[in-house]
Amino acid sequence: MITFNNIVERFEIFAENHFFIQTFSFGSPDDVDLTKFTNFPLMHLVYTGATYDAGTKTYNLEVYILDVPADKNQKVERQKKWSPTRNNAQKISSPTLRTEGTSSSLHKITK
Protein backbone atom coordinates (compact mmCIF):
# COMPACT_ATOMS: atom_id res chain seq x y z
CA MET A 1 0.00 0.00 0.00
CA ILE A 2 1.25 3.46 -0.87
CA THR A 3 1.24 5.89 2.05
CA PHE A 4 1.38 9.65 2.10
CA ASN A 5 4.97 9.41 3.38
CA ASN A 6 5.85 7.27 0.31
CA ILE A 7 4.39 9.95 -1.92
CA VAL A 8 6.28 12.77 -0.21
CA GLU A 9 9.50 10.76 -0.41
CA ARG A 10 8.99 10.09 -4.13
CA PHE A 11 8.32 13.77 -4.87
CA GLU A 12 11.39 14.73 -2.83
CA ILE A 13 13.59 12.29 -4.78
CA PHE A 14 12.12 13.59 -8.03
CA ALA A 15 12.84 17.21 -7.01
CA GLU A 16 16.40 16.40 -5.85
CA ASN A 17 17.20 14.80 -9.19
CA HIS A 18 15.49 17.35 -11.43
CA PHE A 19 17.74 19.82 -13.26
CA PHE A 20 15.39 22.75 -12.66
CA ILE A 21 14.03 22.29 -9.12
CA GLN A 22 16.40 23.54 -6.41
CA THR A 23 14.35 23.00 -3.22
CA PHE A 24 11.47 20.78 -2.08
CA SER A 25 8.96 21.28 0.73
CA PHE A 26 5.52 20.00 1.66
CA GLY A 27 2.64 20.93 3.92
CA SER A 28 0.03 23.63 4.12
CA PRO A 29 0.49 26.61 1.80
CA ASP A 30 0.63 28.69 4.98
CA ASP A 31 3.75 26.73 5.99
CA VAL A 32 5.76 28.10 3.07
CA ASP A 33 7.99 30.73 4.65
CA LEU A 34 9.79 32.13 1.64
CA THR A 35 12.31 33.88 3.90
CA LYS A 36 13.65 30.43 4.92
CA PHE A 37 14.33 29.34 1.36
CA THR A 38 17.25 30.69 -0.63
CA ASN A 39 17.37 28.31 -3.59
CA PHE A 40 14.65 28.66 -6.19
CA PRO A 41 12.66 27.32 -7.98
CA LEU A 42 10.96 25.59 -5.08
CA MET A 43 8.58 22.65 -5.51
CA HIS A 44 5.92 22.62 -2.77
CA LEU A 45 3.52 19.68 -2.29
CA VAL A 46 0.14 20.20 -0.62
CA TYR A 47 -2.12 17.34 0.50
CA THR A 48 -5.72 18.39 -0.12
CA GLY A 49 -7.51 15.18 0.86
CA ALA A 50 -8.24 11.66 -0.27
CA THR A 51 -11.13 9.63 -1.63
CA TYR A 52 -11.86 5.97 -1.03
CA ASP A 53 -13.48 3.66 -3.58
CA ALA A 54 -13.72 -0.16 -3.55
CA GLY A 55 -10.36 -0.84 -1.92
CA THR A 56 -8.67 2.14 -3.58
CA LYS A 57 -7.40 5.28 -1.92
CA THR A 58 -6.82 8.26 -4.20
CA TYR A 59 -4.65 11.04 -2.82
CA ASN A 60 -5.46 14.58 -3.93
CA LEU A 61 -2.38 16.78 -4.15
CA GLU A 62 -1.45 20.20 -5.40
CA VAL A 63 2.07 20.86 -6.64
CA TYR A 64 3.39 24.40 -6.72
CA ILE A 65 6.52 25.56 -8.51
CA LEU A 66 7.61 28.81 -6.88
CA ASP A 67 10.23 31.18 -8.19
CA VAL A 68 11.34 34.67 -7.27
CA PRO A 69 10.09 37.03 -9.97
CA ALA A 70 12.26 39.73 -11.40
CA ASP A 71 11.49 43.36 -10.60
CA LYS A 72 7.94 44.08 -11.83
CA ASN A 73 9.13 47.36 -13.34
CA GLN A 74 11.53 45.53 -15.65
CA LYS A 75 9.13 43.76 -18.01
CA VAL A 76 11.76 42.15 -20.23
CA GLU A 77 13.64 40.63 -17.28
CA ARG A 78 10.37 39.51 -15.69
CA GLN A 79 9.35 37.77 -18.95
CA LYS A 80 12.74 36.05 -19.20
CA LYS A 81 12.32 34.70 -15.66
CA TRP A 82 8.66 33.67 -16.02
CA SER A 83 8.93 31.83 -19.33
CA PRO A 84 11.43 29.12 -18.27
CA THR A 85 9.65 28.59 -14.94
CA ARG A 86 6.30 28.12 -16.65
CA ASN A 87 7.73 25.84 -19.35
CA ASN A 88 9.56 23.65 -16.85
CA ALA A 89 6.50 23.43 -14.59
CA GLN A 90 4.53 22.11 -17.58
CA LYS A 91 7.27 19.58 -18.34
CA ILE A 92 7.32 18.43 -14.71
CA SER A 93 3.57 17.82 -14.79
CA SER A 94 3.89 15.53 -17.81
CA PRO A 95 5.60 12.44 -16.38
CA THR A 96 3.73 10.23 -13.95
CA LEU A 97 5.64 9.70 -10.73
CA ARG A 98 5.71 6.07 -9.71
CA THR A 99 6.81 4.20 -6.63
CA GLU A 100 9.44 1.53 -7.17
CA GLY A 101 7.91 -1.92 -7.39
CA THR A 102 4.42 -0.72 -8.26
CA SER A 103 2.65 0.52 -11.32
CA SER A 104 0.41 2.79 -9.28
CA SER A 105 0.18 6.34 -10.44
CA LEU A 106 0.95 8.66 -7.55
CA HIS A 107 -0.70 11.72 -8.97
CA LYS A 108 -2.88 12.98 -11.74
CA ILE A 109 -2.49 16.37 -13.32
CA THR A 110 -5.81 18.08 -13.96
CA LYS A 111 -5.71 20.65 -16.71
Q: Could you report the average pLDDT of every consecutive run of 10 residues in the chain (111 residues)?
A: 89 88 91 83 92 89 81 61 68 54 40 32
Q: What pLDDT does 37 receive?
A: 85
Q: What pLDDT does 101 receive?
A: 42
Residue 32 resides in a domain: yes
**In Å, what is the CA distance from 5 to each residue of 8, 30, 47?**
5, 20, 11
Q: What pLDDT does 81 receive?
A: 60
Residue 105 resides in a domain: no
CB-CB neighbours of 6 under 10 Å: 16
Residue 66 resides in a domain: yes
Q: What pLDDT does 48 receive?
A: 94
Residue 100 resides in a domain: no
Strands 42-53 and 23-26: parallel
Domain that holds residue 27: 4-93
Q: What pLDDT does 36 receive?
A: 85
In terms of Cα–Cα distance, which of 33, 60, 38 is closest to 49?
60
Q: What pLDDT does 68 receive?
A: 75
Residue 103 resides in a domain: no
Strands 56-66 and 23-26: unpaired
Number of domains present in the structure of the chain = 1
Residue 108 resides in a domain: no
pTM confidence score = 0.70
Residue 46 resides in a domain: yes
| 87: Cα separation from own chain's centroid | 14
Residue 99 resides in a domain: no
What is the Cβ-side half-sphere exposure of residue 5, based on CA atoms within 13 angstroms? 1
